[in-house]
Structure 1
Amino acid sequence: MTTPSPQTPLAARAISPKIATSLADTLKALADPLRLRLVSAIAATSNGDCCVCDLTAIADVSQPTVSHHLKKLKDAELLTSERRGTWVHYQIAPARRAEVMALLSAVTPLEEAVDAENETARVEALRTMDARVTRLAEQLAAELSDLHPDVIMTIVRESYAGLARTATVTQHLIPLTERFARQRLADLVRDRAVAPPQVLFVCVGNSGRSQLAAALTNQLSGGRVIARSAGSRPAASIDPDVRVLLQDIAGDDVDALYPKPLTDDAVRAADVVVTMGCGDVCPVIPGVNYEDWAVGDPALASPEGTAAIRDDIAAHVRTLLDTLLVPQATEITGKVPS
């Protein structure tokens, strides 16, 4: 290939007006992310033919929206269509196929470069997070000398993995992992003979009922009962209406009530395990009492309904505290509190 001499007119080195016009029209027709994806999907089929029923699955939009963009591509003469029975099949227009395929081929290296960059960033993020988790475990092992470092490392890693499954924001994941791991480690060494009563509230999502029950137990017992909550399939966050109520109950401690997974050690450490009428089943541990409270689900309720659910849970909590705290007070004073 020879390099044009400085004397060569610039117009001679530019693409022709005819090709420029055709290419500009094509680029204009494809200047929409969904249209570009539709064309690339059709081009990727083995026979260059694609049913509209398959194209509607490409993006989370309605079928009329897909049909609108397909019509735009037909108007630009990039696609042709043919009705077969009840469905319409689309193909790239034969006269434009070489042009379209050339454009798509030019995009492929860019997409591969972006994928490679994203994969590199993902690997680096995992490596960084792994180092932070390891460092956290080492810090806790230095602080908690009554537990073997390997046990602490296992608990920290399990806690991180359990929270990471549903995390939508990772910037607070390490502090939450530390809080969750500390709770689990405390449960491992809990001595029932001297520790205050402990209650574990369990629901599927751990995003509403169980948090309300735990917060109300902590508030109404004045700290004389330890309340935990967990879920068999914890949600990513607390229900917004429940969070408003929790802020009134727990104040600044509301962040400690984040959704967390149910673990065997939490069940073993509890004196009472309460399921919240959601069909959850917990491991049966000897010495642990089990209750099921048939209360409504805040996720299905209005703000007023959620407040009523809170009041219902509070009544259950008061009854539970009567059974947990009366024996304790009788043992100390010899009298039943009035």
Structure 2
Amino acid sequence: MVPSGHVAAPPTFIRLAAHPLRWRLLTALAESDYRVRDLVSRIDQPQNLLSYHLRRLRDGGLVSATRSTFDGRDSYYHLDLDRCAVALAAGGAALHPSLRRDPAAPDFPVDQRHTPPVAVLFVCTGNSARSPIAEALLRQHTAGRVTVASAGTRPRPHLHADAVRVLRDEFGIDIADRRPQHLDALAERTFDHVITLCDRAREACPELPRHPRRSHWSIPDPATAGDADEPGYPAFRRTATEIDTRVRHLLPVLATHHEKEAAP
């Protein structure tokens, strides 16, 4: 029993997120994966200070870092939105049980005659694994109510067999007849969101018409990410699971975009 007048310490998430600078870091990382030097430029604070607070966020399990596959000296920081959601819900429940909430699934209208659907482009280098997986998963989650495409900066001749397999076996999606395409093939199309999924593509992807919102998901190539214990297909399963998580967190962002476009 908690003694009368005793106040429990704030939950870890509340303590971490309440710091103004850490909140700015969380807000930036909610939009995209960034390197420390990107965050220095974006937030306009010294690198050593940002590194300290990033370490606090990593220790709290909210942020992780992956070594860049473009430049091994760099690391990309990624916000774990699932952990944040759980921690935020727990923080509310710690204040009062009635604050525990289950978020509703975002809704995309079936009739889009008056408001064009949101258009999303996924880009990786070869357009043979990560970006077609993301394209297929977003199309499935939105039942085709979002316009989605994928392309590569240096496309391979064919999709990776394990990319086709993981979508078929784990998600019931068949993309066997799809072929990688070059980013140039989409030069005449406009997109609202462009998301790069590999570090090389982030550096190589040019500016596109209408200045779409750019985000980066730093996801290693599953074709080279297998380790000694789980090489090959298990790496594709892990990658597809991570992409599916990120796509699910993208849905409310896209729904909000659609609501703004539809507003009079």
TM-score (norm 2): 0.48
Q: Which has the higher contact order (CA 8 A, sep 6+)?
A: 2
Name the one with the larger helix percent: 1
Higher Cα Rg: structure 1 or 2? Answer: 1
TM-score (norm 1): 0.38
